[in-house]
Structure 1
Amino acid sequence: FYTAEVTDCILNDTLLSIYSSSLKKPRSCNIFKALFCCLRGAQDARNPPSPSQDALLGPQDNGDVVKLSSGPSLLPEMTPQDQGKICVVIDLDETLVHSSFKPISNADFIVPVEIEGTTHQVYVLKRPYVDEFLQRMGELFECILFTASLAKYADPVTDLLDQCGVFRARLFRESCVFHQGCYVKDLSLLGRELHKTLILDNSPASYIFHPENAVPVVSWFDDVEDAELLHLLPVFEDLSQAEDVYTRLGELRAP
């Protein structure tokens, strides 16, 4: 029953809990939510998505590693204003927003996406505190959007979400490495020093090549009481001062 992704997520529950000492609010409920979301993912894997969803999410198989990117690095040279800052790779779906092909009455955005000649409406909910989170992150880090979704969906969503231009660059599915049925975000391809790079993502499979660079976040769907992004800000404010993210994350992991 347990897939590799579920196993990875269970193992990373421990990593989720390491930040509790930096936060004022207990995170135990969120850890259980993280496990639930992974188990839900395993159940969803047994139920094939609709054709439109499949077109956005892409095929899944157990093939070998396939690098979909090309060129010496995925990112341009760091701008003068970001010199000396840590690079933070930030996921989109279930980290900052949740999207659905089914109508949502309180959707923050409705984005038309054309798939195989047919236009579909994608209903997008913003995670609570996402605006405050992105504003502060843009002050502290060089922020890069990196999503395994298709650009035809993710680009217009990001246009609406990031109206202040926090993200210095956007990377989509074609920049991922396809590995054992998952789109993995290989940080070594970014063109940034790995000891000065972090990744914020709800899916452990996305950072399986670099788990030591990860700040896990609980998957979000529609919980209006969620405050995960707000609670993570003190952690990132701490990490923004680190000379080496491995050292600082190691200290946070220590009992």
Structure 2
Amino acid sequence: MEFGGVSALFFFWKVPNLPLAVDVTVSQCNISLKKQRNRSIFSSLFCCFRGYNVEPPANNNSALPPLVEENGGLQKGDQTQVITIPSLPTKYLLPELKGSDCEKKCVVIDLDETLVHSSFKPINNADFIVPVEIDGTIHQVYVLKRPHVDEFLQKMGEMFECVLFTASLAKYADPVADLLDRWGVFTARLFRESCVFHRGNYVKDLSRLGRELNKIIILDNSPASYIFHPENAVPVQSWFDDMSDTELLDLIPFFEGLSKEENVYNMLQKLCNR
């Protein structure tokens, strides 16, 4: 006998195994939902879980420099990457500079994986433990400082107007910044609500700061964060827990040179070519 093209023998042979198959499927679904729940907590708080496969918008208004491979050569078939930058806001994100600070260039500094690494998982050598409320529950966030971050921030505060700009939520990032910046280096702090949500990523639009673009530098481990202004970027390697890392220390002489440049693009272009 046939049931929809399936033999009766095969049909009745499969039935006894059906409850087991259903149990396995339900169990797998429960595990999947738990994983999604855990991931959603992270992604709702930090900026770590972001898509990095960013495509430019379809409209073409502003041209960017050619795409460059790691070896410094142009990618085959690529000439110029073109994206659309959102229109300027009626109000800038930063207040006007006053007094001697008017001569300083602006450095926009990322937080997660650039200056610190944070985790919900307990870390024995955590520098800070920050309580954060999520959906009515207090979670402990364990924070590790990147090596040489103290020296780096103090030097940057002497030379630049320093702005903390993170795609993380303020209720996590603000208390971390309080503990991290003991010298008051950051003259302003910008969080997720100050980003532009573009193609699944939180982008830091430098044109919204209220500063001349040729006097702005952004230090960030995520290229997606500065896709609107890659020519202003000093890329930094993502940091998690390597205590032998010296990247922040190594960058200080480079920033000392940048602070003396009238136009930051010349020196940043040399860095890009290198």
State TM-score, norm by structure 1.
0.76
- Retained in 1: the 8 A contact 2:107–2:217? yes
1:55 deviates by 2.4
Report the CA distance between 1:252 and its aligned residue: 3.7
CA contact (8 A) 2:164 2:190 kept: yes
Q: Which residue of 1 aligns with 2:69?
A: none
- In structure 2, give the amino acid aligned to 1:233: I
| 1:251 and 2:270 matched | yes
* 1:173 pairs with 2:192: yes
Give the residue type in structure 1 aligned to 2:213.
Answer: L
Q: Give the equivalent residue in structure 2 for 1:41.
A: none
- Are residues 1:201 and 2:190 paired? no
What CA distance in whole angstroms lies between the structure 2 residues aligned with 1:75 and 1:184? Answer: 17
Q: Does 1:156 align with 2:175?
A: yes
Of 220, 241, 245 in structure 2, the residue corresponding to residue 222 of structure 1 is 241
Distance 2:154 2:39 in 1: 35
Q: 1:120 to 1:188 in 2, by over 3 A?
A: same
Native 8 Å contact 1:66 1:179 kept in 2: no
Which residue is equivalent to 2:261? 242
Amino acid at match of 2:194: S
TM-score if structure 2 supplies the norm length? 0.71
Q: Which residue of 2 aligns with 1:212?
A: 231
The answer to whether 1:232 aligns with 2:251 is yes
- Cα distance between partner residues in 2 of 1:66 and 1:242: 26
CA deviations 1:181-213 (Å, max 9, x no partner) are 000000000000000000000000000000000
In structure 2, the partner of 1:114 is: 133
Contact 1:66 1:177 in 2 (8 A): no
Distance 2:118 2:174 in 1: 13
The residue number in structure 1 matching 2:148 is: 129
Does the C-alpha gap of structure 1 residues 134 and 117 become closer, same or farther in structure 2, counting only changes over 3 Å?
same
1:155 positional shift: 0.1
Percent identity among equivalent residues? 68
**Equivalent pair of 2:89/2:208 in contact (CA under 8 Å):** no
- What does 1:42-53 align with in structure 2 at a 5 Å threshold? 48=36, 49-53=38-42
Distance 1:202 1:101 in 2: 21
In the alignment, is the contact (CA less than 8 A) between 1:176 and 1:185 conserved in 2? yes
Give the secondary-structure state (helix, strand or coil) at the position aligned to 2:172: helix
Native 8 Å contact 2:163 2:188 kept in 1:
yes
Deviation at residue 250 of structure 1 after TM alignment:
2.1
Which of 168, 181, 184 is the aligned partner of 2:203? 184
Q: Mean Cα displacement is larger for which, 69-78 or 181-190?
A: 69-78
Q: Which amino acid aligns with 2:148?
A: Y
Aligned residue number for residue 3 of structure 1: none
In the alignment, which residue of structure 2 is the partner of 1:54? 43
Paired with 1:70 and 1:243, the residues of 2 have a C-alpha distance of 26
Distance 1:50 1:253 in 2: 34
Aligned residues: 208
Q: Distance in 2 between matches of 1:121 and 1:89?
A: 27
What's the secondary structure of 1:222's corresponding residue? coil
2:77 alignment counterpart = none
Give unmatched runs, 5+ long, in structure 2: 1-34, 58-83
Please say if 1:96 is aligned against 2:115. Answer: yes
> 2 CA distance for matches of 1:254 and 1:178?
29
Give structure 1 stretches of 5+ with no counterpart.
1-46
Partners of 2:135 and 2:190 lie apart in 1 by 23
Q: Output the CA distance in 2 between the equivalents of 1:209 and 1:105.
A: 39
1:209-244 CA-to-partner distances (Å, cap 9, x unmatched) read 000000000000000100000000011001010100
Structure 1, 78-87 or 170-179: larger mean CA deviation = 78-87
Deviation at 1:247, TM superposition (A): 1.8
Higher relative contact order (CA 8 A, sep 6+): 1
Greater C-alpha radius of gyration: 2
User: After superposition, what is the alpha-carbon deviation per residue over 1:79-109, rounded to whole angstroms, capped at 9, x for unaligned?
Assistant: 3231111100000000000000000000000
> For the residues of structure 1 that align with 2:196 and 2:258, how far apart are their CA atoms?
27
